[in-house]
Amino acid sequence: MGQPTALPGPDPLILRGNGTDRSLRCRVLQSPLAGVSDQIFRGLVRRWAPEALLYTEMVNATALELGHGRSRLEDLAAEDGPVAVQLFDHRPEAMAEAARRAEACGAFLIDINMGCPVRKIARKGGGSGLIRDPELAARIVAAVAEAVQLPVTVKTRLGWCGDSADPVGFARTLEAAGARALTLHGRTREQGFGGSADWRAIGAVKRALAIPVIANGDVRGPEEARRCLAISGADGVMVGRASLGAPWQVGRIAAALEGRPLPPLPGPAERLALAAEQLGALIETYGAKGLLIARKHMGWTCQGFAGAAELRHGLMRAPTAAAALELLTRAAEGLGTCASPAEG
């Protein structure tokens, strides 16, 4: 099968706001990832994708009201590239106020989460729970769009479950309410992350809307991104789980789609150095809690070379950051010529 045309053209993607428009030069977006996409992670992704739109972790509007979660909005304006703030809640007024705060803190745009499949969030009417209440979903979009000057976008799924899914109808409701772009994960809430993403269903939504549509789901690398865009006709792609332990993935996909040479995959020594750097930054930012956060990142990053499995086993049990750093240092010193980077 030949190489399909990737993106519809080299021009920036324009998102219209209520007074402030935004231009996206890079059409590969890094997904918001709960417990992952903090400022440290975003900084690593930015090395390979300096112009890509990155996202905060989900911010709970109710938590902001109670004085929690503000740290996720701090220093957004000081970051080197565009950062969107993703909000979730089921109350339009709370979402509007949270959007105002995010705008004041330097958000590039406001994204509303209507796709999170986590039961405790959906059960309270947030995340993917809003798919089952299109009227409330529309009221939330309208309230947020009226509250800020920035473009308001929505990230959602094909539906709640296969029998009731109406992705085109739901998407049209969001567009009419004021959404200026839609990121669509090609699975229902019932599927979670199982099965395969339905890129053709994303294509049906794209053809029905006037606003940009970003395809999400199973975009694991450059080849999948090309196929996804060829099948869906989407305006861009969003990368999620493929970037876990691989912050270079967004940059590699963007290079491939733009016809630039692909950045080389980091070798074992670079992966170990990256894991050590991220561990140090997490400790500096979060204190002792940083080691707990770093374990998952180290587990994802330390892959694809001789001794990686044993190293991960040790890292997950390291009692202190110093002990984990010593394991990484010893692994780097012991790398042999047989080690080779994994494709990812």
Does residue 273 share a domain with residue 236? no
Work out how many domains the chain is built from and give that number: 2
Q: Is residue 300 part of a domain?
A: yes
Q: Which of 91, 105, 14, 37 is nearest to 60 (CA)?
A: 91
Amino acid at 211: I
Residue with tokens 């199982």: 194
**Looking at residue 42, which CATH number applies to its domain?**
3.20.20.70
Residue where a domain stops, chosen among 257, 278, 297: 257
> Which positions are annotated as active-site residues?
116
Amino acid at 276: A
Residue where a domain stops, chosen among 225, 257, 289: 257
C-alpha to C-alpha distance for 279 and 289, rounded to whole angstroms: 11
pLDDT by 10s per residue, the chain, length 344: 344 444 556 689 999 999 999 999 999 999 999 999 999 999 999 999 999 999 999 999 998 888 876 777 877 878 889 999 999 999 999 999 999 999 999 999 999 999 888 888 887 778 888 999 999 999 999 999 999 999 999 999 998 877 778 999 999 999 999 999 999 999 988 887 888 999 999 999 999 999 999 999 999 999 999 999 999 999 999 999 999 999 999 999 999 999 999 999 999 999 999 999 999 999 999 999 999 999 999 999 999 899 999 999 999 999 999 999 999 999 999 885 444 444 33
CA dihedral over 24, 239, 69, 129, signed as positive or negative: positive
Q: Where is 321: in which H helix or E strand?
A: helix 321-333
Does residue 251 share a domain with residue 295? no
Exposure on the CB side of residue 35, measured as CA atoms within 13 A? 9
Domain range for 237 is 13-257
In terms of Cβ atoms closer than 10 Å to its own Cβ (0-12, 13-18, 19+), residue 229 is buried
Does residue 36 share a domain with residue 150? yes
Does residue 302 share a domain with residue 230? no
Cβ partners under 8 Å of residue 235, min gap 6: 7, 8, 13, 27, 181, 206, 212, 213, 214
Does residue 84 share a domain with residue 23? yes
Contact present, 57 and 86 (Cβ < 8 Å): yes
Does residue 155 share a domain with residue 118? yes
Q: How many of the other CB atoms lie within 10 Å of CB of 300?
A: 19
Q: Which of 207, 208, 205 is nearest to 216 (CA)?
A: 205
C-alpha to C-alpha distance for 9 and 236, rounded to whole angstroms: 11
Residue with tokens 């039961």: 119
Q: What does pTM read for this prediction?
A: 0.92
Does residue 225 share a domain with residue 182? yes
Does residue 208 share a domain with residue 278? no
Does residue 213 share a domain with residue 75? yes
